[in-house]
Amino acid sequence: MLRAAELVAGVMEGGNLTDAFERMAADHAAWPDATRGAVRDLAWSTLRDYGTGDAVLQQFLHSPPAVLIHGLLLVALTRLEQRPEQAHTVVDQTVQAAAVAMPGLKGMVNGVLRNALRQRQLWTSWVEADEEARHTHPRWWITRVRADHSEHWRSILEAGRQRPPMALRVNRRRAEVDAVVAELEAAGIALRAVSGQTVLLAQPLPVARLPGFAEGRVSVQDAGAQRAALLLAPQAGERVLDACAAPGGKTAHLLELADIELSALELDPLRAQRIRANLDRLGLEARIQVADCARLETWWDGRPFDRILADVPCSASGVVRRHPDIKWLRRDEDIAGFAAQQARIVDALWHTLAPGGTMLYVTCSVFGQENAAQLAAFLRHHADAESDPIDGFPDCQLLPDADHDGFYFARLRKKA
């Protein structure tokens, strides 16, 4: 409980949740998978419902507590929601954790939680009275989603507070879908084949428990993310660029689809290493370069690409259930900054695309400023660009649901 609270407190102080968890796991390498998974699940669940928990806490806090104690109380409320039948045990464990972290505040922690339990029947009314608590997203985020998706905004926000699905991509170079499905079912893993090479698991599992993962027969990749390589549709012998490539899931998928000459760019050297590790596990090869994809002079050899995957940095608003710290760390004004960065990248990459070539613009965002508005602006500014429709439409906005996360795709062709 205390470890999960430390992660939550780190986010409240502006830290990155995934990075903090990876450091914690490295510092506790002896933790069994069950402990590591429990800490992760509790921290992620608490942050998905941060607004709800804070609305309840504010009824009992007369002044802001120390950030670690605040995080601990939020974690306790999440555990009380998950295990109401163990309420007294949860309170006792929380008080014990407070005694370890800040002994002088264990009485306050005990008093707040016991008061909260006595007024449990009022929690719902407190949450319903607060829009941020009701939807577990910041108000500016709610406003944007409502404006961009007037018919689906509630379902988008609801998806953002759910546990994400776990999907596998079958490596067509090493396995057939039917054989992988049979192998997983024989191991007692509930699943369903979705489409193509995609298998959706009923429950998330550590990759160590997945038959065929270590041997490169399957990879973990969201079903929505798997659409990127399929939409770009590389053909044998083509020269392909994967810009902003880490951690390498889409890079690998492109290489699984066709025998191509692929270059993968990544700005962060450590993240570039993850691309190499992923490709090595799958028995694939690409040219990996550490570079800013918008600074052509640092990496491009002047030879044009037949196809480009421009999976650009974005708000990540479509994958927020996987990264729940994002919705509390982002600010409304950040979106314009992402949009400017995206435009800079695709304008630069367009110069490297051969006439007749195809670029796929991709974000994991549901915000229109990063998506349809970018497509419209690009087409206005580039007379040699034309939209290559997807399923009869100029673009494709996948909204998060039970099967996949939220993604945006726009396919562009350079006039010959």
Read off the pLDDT of residues 288-304 as tens digits, 9 standing for 90 and up. 999 999 999 999 999 99
Pairing relationship of beta strands 198-201 and 166-170 according to DSSP bridges: antiparallel
- Give the model confidence (pLDDT) of 194-245 as tens digits: 888 999 999 999 898 999 999 999 999 999 999 999 999 999 999 999 999 9
How far is residue 388 CA from its own chain's centroid? Answer: 27
For residues 250 and 242, the answer to whether their CB atoms sit within 8 Å is yes
Mean pLDDT to the nearest integer, 73-83: 94
Bridge partners of 309, per DSSP, are: 242, 360
Q: Residue 343 pLDDT > 90, yes or no?
A: yes
Output phi, psi for 360, to 5 deg.
-110, 115
Token readout for 389 is 């429709």
Across 48-57, 318-327, 383-392, least confident range: 48-57
pLDDT of residue 63: 86
Number of Cβ within a 10 Å radius of residue 25: 15
Output phi, psi for 28, to 5 deg.
-125, 55
For residues 193 and 212, the answer to whether their CB atoms sit within 8 Å is no
313 Cβ contact partners less than 8 Å away, ≥ 6 residues apart: 244, 338, 341, 342, 345
Mean pLDDT to the nearest integer, 27-49: 93
At residue 64 the predicted structure's pLDDT band, cuts being 50, 70 and 90, is confident
SS3 percent helix, strand, coil of the chain, rounded to 5, is 50, 15, 35
- In sign, the C-alpha dihedral spanning 301, 307, 308, 309 is negative
At residue 260 the predicted structure's pLDDT band, cuts being 50, 70 and 90, is very high
How far is residue 118 CA from its own chain's centroid? Answer: 37
Pairing relationship of beta strands 239-243 and 305-311 according to DSSP bridges: parallel
Share of the chain above pLDDT 90, in %: 95
- Catalytic positions, written as ranges: 364
pLDDT of residue 41: 95
pLDDT of residue 33: 86
Token readout for 134 is 């009701």
406 Cβ contact partners less than 8 Å away, ≥ 6 residues apart: 156, 159, 224, 317, 318, 319, 364, 365, 366, 397, 398, 399, 400
- Give the model confidence (pLDDT) of 388-411 as tens digits: 999 999 999 999 999 999 999 999
**How many helices (H) and strands (E) would you count in the chain?**
18, 12
105-109, 268-272, 348-352, range with greatest mean pLDDT: 348-352
What CA–CA distances, in Å, run from 341 to 255, 313, 335?
A: 27, 8, 10
Q: Residue 13 pLDDT > 90, yes or no?
A: yes
